[in-house]
Amino acid sequence: MQQKGTVWIIGASSGLGLATANAFAQDGWLVVSGARSFLGSPPTEGPCRLHLDVTDETSCDGFVRDALKRSPRVDAIVCCAAQLVLGSCENISLGELNRLLDTNVLGTVRMIKRALPLMRKQQSGKIILFSSINGLLGIPFQSAYTMSKHALEGYAECLAMETERYGIQVCLVEPGDHRGGSQRTRLHAAAESSASPYYHAYENACSIISRDEAQGLSPDALGKKVVRNANKRRMRFRLKVAKPDQRLAVWLHTWLPARMNQRILNRYYHTCL
C-alpha cells in the first residue's frame, strides 16, 4: 500500500496517543512515534518508536534527527503528550504545576517549533494538538490540567492564523472521557491528604472522575476520527469527540450565567456537600 504521508505522533505510548498512532498506521501513513518510555534502538520494521522527552531540548532534537532518517518529510504532527495532576488550587505546588505545564504546553510548543520549518519548506503540513473538553470549561480539582488545555486552545488559534499562508493547517482535538488512559500520567497533588480542608470534596470529585473515565468512549474510535479529519483537504479546526452530556456541558458553559454553571458542576461532582 502506498504511504499517504509521514506523521509524527508525540506521546504515543498509551491511551489516546497510542490509539491515534495505530489508526494512522492502519490507514497507510508512515508513523514515527515518540514517548519517554520508548528506549533503546528503534525496530527495523513496523512503526518507528523513538525515545522522546518533550521537556528536554536535547531529546527533542534527537527525535527530529532520527525521524528525518526515516523520512525527509513531516506531513502531519500530532501532539498528545500530557499528564494530569488532581488537586485543589491551594494544594497543588508550583513544582507540580511547572512540571505539568512543561509537558502539556511547552512540550507541545517545542515539537511544533521543530516541525514548522520543515512544513514551511514543503508549503504544506497538518498540526494536530490534543486539547480536551477541559480546554473549554473547568471542573473541580483539575485546575492544572484545565489551565494547560486552555493555553493550547489560545496557542492553536494564533498558530492557525500565522501559518495559513504556508499551506499549514491546524486542528484542536477536544476529547471527553475515554477509556484506557495510563495511570502513570494521572497524578495526585502531594499535599492533598486527609489533613486537607478540601479532602472530602476532593475524594468525591476523584471518584466521579474515575467513574466517568472507566465508562468513557473508545480510544480506537477517536483515533479513526482524527485520521479521517487529517485526510480531508481542509481539516476541521475543532474536533470534539465526547458523549452527549459532555457536549451539553460545553453548550451550557457558553450560554448560562457563570454562577449557574458552577452550581451544576459542583452538584455533579458532589463538591458542594
Q: Are 127 and 170 in contact (CB under 8 A)?
A: yes
Catalytic residue among 145, 155, 198, 202: 145
- The sign of the CA dihedral 236, 241, 244, 247 is negative
- CB burial class (10 A; 0-12, 13-18, 19+) of residue 202? buried
Q: Are 102 and 59 in contact (CB under 8 A)?
A: no
CB atoms within 10 A of CB 252: 14
**Residues 263-272: contacts with CB within 8 Å, 24+ apart?**
265/137, 265/139, 265/140, 266/140, 268/208, 269/139, 269/140, 269/141, 269/201, 269/204, 269/205, 269/208, 269/209, 270/201, 270/204, 270/205, 270/207, 270/208, 271/140, 271/141, 271/201, 271/204, 271/205, 272/201
* C-alpha grid cell, residue 271: 463538591
Residue 145 annotated among the catalytic residues of the structure: yes
Catalytic residue positions? 145
